[in-house]
Amino acid sequence: MFDAKVSVDTNTGQFSLSVDYDLDVPGTSASFNCTLTVTDSAGHSDTAVVGVFIEYKNEFAPTFSLSSISITLQSHELIGAIVTNFTAQDYDLSTQDDGKFYYTLDQSSNTKEYFGIMSNGSLYIKEDLTPLYSGKTLSMTLTAKDFGNPSKQSSLAITIQIPISTTTLASVSTDKSLKFEEDNKNAVLVSLVGLASVALLCTLFVLITRNCHHKMKKQVTFSSFNFLFNSNVLSCRFQGSYIVKARYS
């Protein structure tokens, strides 16, 4: 025997591996040849080449780092949004079926399949969650299963907590835009402009009175006057023939 990886019992001829031959170690060959020699008491001998072929064995199940997880999710989250990413690990050689695996999501305990799982382990929202705005707890099971024969698998329990929504959705309106004076932001500005206009009119009133009295030497008596605040025009009507208007915008 000229290969250290195998041995043979010189009395019984039992042929076996002499080392821990692990195909999961990258680079390890699944086959090799060795030479077997048989010799009698007279010293006559013969040899044979023995081909050794090692079969892969599905030793490990793909596993998650956690056995369960709880996630809080708002009901207004959008369809297609990624909730989180899960990663399972299989310690069998990844290039073989024993080390390859896929995810499945069991949501049979819920009324709908609200979530989906991508091939890379990303959990995403599949159905509209807004009907659950009043609060809901969803349970599901994520399983990672390899392609070995026989296959191995492990599971992760997922709990999705959807709290009572406190979000008020903004209403979308196609009405025409507000007029300047209807906008609450401009209400204060309109008031200030109105007061300034009143002050201006009072000043004008005083000036007109003085002018009529001193220069035109014509007595004009204003027994009363009214202010008219209409739209964007502030008017002051005096009893007589004088009308003074102030326009603002």
Residues engaged in binding Ca ion (CB under 5 A): 58, 60, 90, 92, 98, 146, 148
Instruction: Return the number of the residue (92 or 125) whose C-beta is nearest Ca ion.
Output: 92
Q: Nearest distance from residue 20's CB to Ca ion, in Å? A: 18
Is the CB of 75 or the CB of 96 nearer to Ca ion? Answer: 96
Q: Which two tokens stand for residue 203?
A: 């000043």
In whole angstroms, the minimum distance from the beta carbon of 96 to Ca ion comes to 9
∠ CA 171-173-177, rounded to 5°: 130
Cβ 142 to Ca ion shortest distance, Å: 17
What is the phi-psi region of residue 27: left when phi exceeds 0, alpha when psi lies from -120 to 50, beta otherwise? left
Q: Give the residue carrying structure tokens 């009072």.
A: 202
* Among 91, 85, 71, residue whose Cα is nearest residue 154: 91
Q: How far is the CB of 87 from Ca ion (least distance, A)?
A: 15
By the 8 A CB rule, do 154 and 61 touch? yes
Closest to Ca ion by CB, 58 vs 197, is 58
CB 88 to Ca ion: min, Å: 10
**Closest CB to Ca ion among 148 and 197?**
148
Q: Nearest Cα to 116, choosing from 84, 151, 162?
A: 84
- What distance in Å separates the CA atoms of residue 240 and residue 64, rounded to the nearest whole number? 94
Name which of 58 and 75 has its Cβ closer to Ca ion. Answer: 58
On the 0-12 / 13-18 / 19+ scale of CB atoms within 10 A, 90 is buried
